[in-house]
Each structure stands twice: as C-alpha cells, then as structure tokens.
Structure 1
Amino acid sequence: MPAALQFSLLGLLVGLAAGAATGPLAEDHPVLPTWKCTTSGGCVQQNTSIVLDRDSKLAKGAAGSRSAADYTAMGVTTSGNALTLQHYVNGQAASPRVYLLDSTTNKYVMMTLQDNQELSVDVDLSSLPCGENGAFYLSEMAADGSGGAGSGTGYCDAQCPSSQCCNEMDILEANSMATAMTPHPCKGSNCDKSGCGYNPYASGQRNYWGPGKTVDTSKVFTVVTQFAASGGKLTQITRKYIQNGKEIGGGGTISNCGAEGGSGGLTGMGQALGRGMVLAMSIWNDPAQQMAWLDAGSNGPCASGQGSPSQIQSQHSDTHVVFSNIRWGDIGSTTKS
C-alpha cells in the first residue's frame, strides 16, 4: 500500500475515533410520559422521554455509549410518569440535570406557553433540606440542541454558562423550606441575571410554605403556573397550588419584569415562550452561597450553615426530588379530573 494512502487511511481512522469520543453519544432515554392539553379536547399523552445533559455526563467521565443503567448511576430514574432526581449516589454527588425529549423526533420538546397557557407538575420535595434546590424550569435552547439533542447538548440560560445566553423561566426553584418563581428575560446577551422573582417568604407569607404549612411540603402537591396574555403580549405570570384536592391561592403574581429596552422585560419573556422553550429539571446545591438567596435571611427560615453541601451530604445523603404528571396547555385544562 502506498505510504500516502496508508497515511490517509490512518488519518480517517483517527478522525472517526475522535468523532466517536466527541460526537453525539448513543444512549437509551428513560421514558417519561407527559400530556398536552386543550379545553376542548382534554389531555393527549405525548411520546416523551428524558435525556441527561451532555456536559454533566462528560464531567463524570461518562464518555462512549450510554444505557438506562447509566442514568441510574447518575441519579436519574423514571417510573410511570414520575421522574426522580437523586443528588447523591453511592456517596458521590451526581447532581443531574435532564431535558424533556420528543422520542419520535429525537429533538427537545418545544413548549409554547405565551398565549394564555399553563404548565402543571406534581412535586415531592419533602426530602430536600435547606440548601438544596429542586429546579423545574424552561430554557430557550434550540430544538435540535445545536446538533445533538439526543445526547443532551445545547444548554443555555440567563446566567450565560460558557457565554451561551438565552431566556430562562424558572418555574420552580424549591426545597421543603422555601421556593421562588423567577423569569430571567434576555435581549441578546443582555440578560436579567437576578430576575424578577416571587418568593412567598420574602413577600411576608412566613407560614405559607413548609412542612405542615399552607402548602405542606411534607406531602405531594401540584404546581400550576399560568401565563396570561393580551393582544399577543404576556401580561402576567400567576402561581397556584393544588393539594388534597383543594386549590391554594396566594402563590404569587408577576406583572412586571424590568424594561423592554434593557433585557426585554415581561414582553421579551413572553416572546421566548411564544417561540418555544425546553423543559429542564435538576437538583443541586450551592457551595458559594449555600442557597441563601433562596431560603435564608429575608428569603426563608434557614439558618446560616444549614445549606452547606458537606452538611447536606452527611445528614441528608438521600435527598432527592420527584417530578410527575407533567401537563401543559390552555389555562384551566391541565388539572381537570
């Protein structure tokens, strides 16, 4: 074989090997049924599954092919319509983040929620102590994950990780002691990183959220987030809860989110919701601030030091969150029996 041809073939083989290491990962996606609803037609089950964030997998050294068993090792399991995210697995932090995937197209599900739509989910965060965050939120990622949705690529949010900025709607950031709902609109790379959130405790409702309180976080409950629009523009985001068959009001309303000329304001957030956003779910803690911005000081009842990751791991090693029965569609359509 001529030397030039040998060199060419060797280069091709090296390229293929590199592509196998850096290209999309082949994996089995755990099935997670969800429902899309209308007031006229009820709720229709969707062919959906979940995919682990690619960067999280690579950070754990999980290159190559994947399987459902690997998801378990990363703290992710599904059962029926329920997704469980476990922070620690075998004494090691997994802290998984997953996205909702259309199993038919192998692209992310794009939820369009601006025009009088709502998103509901049943939540069990009874095992989340101070310092933990069970997050259920929307990110304006590309439907194809910028080329690899099937392996969890393309993440972006309003904090601009790796300079990837995009609109972010934090539907629920919570533990058993505190919660917040926060739009983070972006106009280009100008993002409202702090957001314009609603936290019941910070708003003076000190007995609203927690074990045995108005929203009893020791038990499962339904979180309903409604996006009201007028004249094609998002005008209000409203939160309510359902527990033990009863609707609980007072969950908060957001009708302003900064100037449109800056990061886009509530109008810009609505435009992103109209274009379609990807559902992300994660569990994490915060070594830098110990989640004080969510649950300590004026934001919640947690004391200094309670949110330390080392304390959480030693005292709450089984901390996890369960998201189930995910439904989206016309306002009033997702929680009908």
Structure 2
Amino acid sequence: MHHLVALLSFSVLTVVCGQQVGTQMAETHPNLSIQKCATGSGCQIQSTSVALDANWRWLHTTSGTTNCYTGNTWDASLCPDPVTCAENCALDGVDYTGTYGITSTGSALTLKLVTHGPYSTNIGSRVYLMANDTTYQMFNLKNQEFTFDVDMSNLPCGLNGALYFVEMDADGGLSKYPNNKAGAKYGTGYCDSQCPNDIKFINGEANVLDWVPSSNDANSGTGMYGTCCSEMDIWEANNNAAAYTAHVCTVHSQTRCSGSDCGDGDDRYNGVCDKDGCDFSSYRMGDTSFLGMGKTVDTSSKFTVVTQFITADNTTTGTLTEIRRIYVQNGKVIQNSKVNIPKMTTYDSVTDVFCNDQKTTFGDPNSFEARGGLATMGQALSKGMVLVLSLWDDYADNMLWLDSDYPLNKSISTPGVARGTCATTSGVPSDVESQNPDSSVTFSNIKFGDIGSTYTL
C-alpha cells in the first residue's frame, strides 16, 4: 500500500493469527467467480474463492481455547520465543459474514468496515483470491489487462478500499517453512512493499521478539521482523480520491527483513523495497475534476477500472514499459486523465520517464528507479502475483497520503502535496469507525486476459 510510513496498521478486537490449525470452526471460503478473457473467443468463468488473512484470525492454544494473543500483547507463557509460539498456538476457520462483514454473491465481494460479531468487534479485512482450497490464484499479467467494477459510493474520507497484487508464495509459505501448518487456506504468507512489521507470524514463526504494543491502536503492535515483496497497487481509493502505484524491491519473493533492510524510520530509502512507489493519482497529478462524487469518473455510482500492462515487444516475455489506465462508466469509455503540473509533460500513464519526471518535480527520492523501475515490476508480474482485496483505516497517517494534503509540513501549493478533497483533520480511525461504521466497498466482475478483451469499446 502506498503511504509515507513503514507501518501498515489494521485493527481488530480479540481476533489474531497463527500457524497451526485449530478445530473450533471449519474454514469455508466464500465463493467468488472471475473471468479469463481472450481476443476472439470471449471470456470464460472461473470458479474461485477468497480466504481471510491470518492476521485477523483467532489465535489460541492447540489444546484448548486460551488466547495466545489478547489486545496487542502476546501471552508470554505460551509465546516465550518465535518457534515455541508457533508450536503452541493455532488459528481457526472463521465466520466470514457474521464476524468480519465479508459477503460474496456470484462475481461480487463486499467488505464492511465495522462488524459487531458474537464475540468481538471487527474493523476492516484483507482477503486473497484462491485458485482452490489450499492455493492462491496466481496472476501473470505482462502484456495482459486486469479489469474490475468497483462501488465505493459508501467509502468516505479516511478509508481505503484497496485491490492490489503482491509477490506472495502460492501456498502461503506452507512448503518453505516447517512451522507453518496452515498455509494459504488460512491466509498465511503476507508481504508487501512496506515490509510491515505488524504481521504476527512471518516465515512460520511468531513475530514476538522486541514486540512493542501500539500506542494508539489497542489491537496492534510491531515486532523485530517485517515481511517484504514487490507490490502492484491497482486501486487504492475512497469516494474522494484514487491512485494506482507500482512498488518494487530488490528481493524477488516474500522475504523476512530486520534492521535497516526493513526501511523503517530514517532507513526508509535504505531498505530492500521502494516504499514510496511510482503513483498516478489524477488529483495529485493536477486534474482535480476527474475523479470523485459527480466528477468525470463519478464515484457516487459503480464504474469499471481497466489496467493494462504493456511490454516493449507486446509479448508476455517482453520488458514491462508502461502501465495504462482506462475507465468505463454508464456505457462510456473514459481515457485516463492527463498530468497538469507545471514543467511536466502531459503524461497519462505510468512509464519510467513519467516516474523520473514526477520524482524530480516533486522533489522526492527516486527509490523506484534505484530498484529497477518498471523492468523489476515486470519480473514480479512474470513470476506471478497474488490478488489482495482489503478495506482499512490508517492509524499512522489517517489516510491523508491518499485523499488530503500530505505531508502536513509542506505548503499545499507545493507540487504533489494536494492529493484529494478531504480535510487534513479527517481520517482519524476512532472518528471514522464511530461515525461511519457501515462504510463498505464492493468489488465485482473481475476479468483478466489479452489487451482489449476484458471490456467493450
């Protein structure tokens, strides 16, 4: 996810994660159909499903129901060290709708912000698309396009309805790490370009070393390790702003990091991943009338988002050179907005030239170019990436990096600072959760395939 801090913070009450498999509740993945398309032969439906990330699941002893983690603190007797904790603790199946507010019907998936379950109150969620009951669906998208519909009319300031790809292992690390007995079926193996260190189990071991409970999130904390991999943010948005962002890393699979490699704090630009990424946000790039409530792309109703991954020779083996964006709404194809920033060319897609120009104009370090730029992103796309769908609020920066003016210590007139219409006082998680608990996002009609095959001109 694209923001200017290392910590990705997700909130959930009394619901946590682990690596063994519990027996308190059977795990039944909600079905979600997608379509694979080809030029000349149309689209074929594929039966897939989604699995909830392990970080949200109840973590308890393998022999009973005692919590291994409560609030934002580990049980020291059950989790004295990473391996013992993984051996002592199990994660269970979940009630997707009743506990987590996750519902699916046909090709549509809805994620709700606040869900009051029978034993806990849940905030947000993160799910992965499954090829089968034990394996994540892998997408190889070079010289391909990826399309979906989104309804975020019920998604106000401070929230992020995100759809993105990360370079996770197809089995969630099950085969690599002996202490991981749960695997993809139970949502293990997460990584992204922020190298998040709030993930409770990494590489099959509990992240208990140097664990520090969060000062402003009663359910989260950070440990010694982070988990890193390249990330392609297809969609990070609420009904006020949206961005798509490529993040690349010098590592080429899910990798546990520590120290400066994680890029935390002052080491932000010394880590293995490009945390800033190269982003295209219409509002940030100077077209403030393009996307939003009542604008050209009207976020008050559903629309289609098309993302095309163009290679130098128009083959699936060529070098990635461009990421294009197209919208479709009310039967009308809407080409992406153009850059309207003084001294910048009127770009309308992500290329290495655009990224370099943006970084120079905004005065930002070019960590994207330093880690290989689009060519590196193409390597991840060739290898295969996992689709992630999530809804979250931001305990670190109140989502201002997405939908407001950010950073706060710079003038709004500085190029790149204005990112959306939301007030700089908006997005405080406690306010968002109490004032807009029924907020939700619906993703539907996911399609992928040949360029030009997934939508109608």
TM-score range normalised by the length of the shorter chain: 0.7 to 0.9
Q: Which residue among 91, 108, 124 is the counterpart of 1:95?
A: 124
The answer to whether the Cα contact below 8 Å between 2:34 and 2:446 also exists between their aligned partners in 1 is yes
Equivalent residue runs for 1:1-337 within 5 Å: 22-24=19-21, 26-58=26-58, 65-67=92-94, 69-90=95-116, 92-103=121-132, 106-114=134-142, 116-147=143-174, 148-162=183-197, 163-188=226-251, 190-231=272-313, 232-251=318-337, 252-256=348-352, 257=355, 262-297=370-405, 298-336=418-456
Gaps of 5+ in 1: 1-20
Quote the offset at 1:70 in angstroms.
4.0
Same amino acid, percent of matched pairs: 48
Q: How far, CA to CA, are the matches of 2:367 and 2:286 in structure 1?
A: 26
Larger helix proportion, structure 1 or 2? 1
Q: 169-178 or 295-304, which moves further after superposition? A: 295-304
Quote the offset at 1:65 in angstroms.
4.0
Q: How far, CA to CA, are the matches of 2:59 and 2:155 in structure 1?
A: 24
Provide closer, same or farther for how the CA distance between residues 266 and 59 of structure 1 changes in structure 2, counting only shifts above 3 A: farther
Q: Over aligned residues, Cα RMSD in angstroms?
A: 2.1
Q: How far, CA to CA, are the matches of 2:107 and 2:153 in structure 1?
A: 19
Gaps of 5+ in 2: 1-17, 61-66, 70-89, 175-182, 198-225, 252-260, 262-271, 338-347, 356-365, 406-417
TM-score under structure 2 length normalisation = 0.65
The answer to whether the Cα contact below 8 Å between 2:310 and 2:323 also exists between their aligned partners in 1 is yes
Alignment-mate amino acid for residue 231 of structure 2: E
Provide closer, same or farther for how the CA distance between residues 261 and 181 of structure 1 changes in structure 2, counting only shifts above 3 A: closer
TM-score under structure 1 length normalisation = 0.88
Quote the offset at 1:167 in angstroms.
0.6
Cα displacement string for residues 160-213 of structure 1 (whole angstroms, at most 9, x for unaligned residues): 124221110000000000011000011126211000101101111111111110
Q: 156-165 or 171-180, which moves further after superposition? A: 156-165
The answer to whether the Cα contact below 8 Å between 1:24 and 1:150 also exists between their aligned partners in 2 is no
Quote the offset at 1:102 in angstroms.
0.9
- Tell me the equivalent position of 2:84: none
Q: How far, CA to CA, are the matches of 1:273 and 1:329 in structure 2?
A: 13
Q: How far, CA to CA, are the matches of 1:142 and 1:150 in structure 2?
A: 12
Quote the offset at 1:73 in angstroms.
1.2
Provide closer, same or farther for how the CA distance between residues 235 and 55 of structure 1 changes in structure 2, counting only shifts above 3 A: same
Q: How far, CA to CA, are the matches of 1:191 and 1:38 in structure 2?
A: 34
Q: Which runs of 4+ in 1 moved over 6 A?
A: 59-62
Alignment-mate amino acid for residue 49 of structure 2: S
Quote the offset at 1:262 in angstroms.
2.8
Quote the offset at 1:336 in angstroms.
3.6
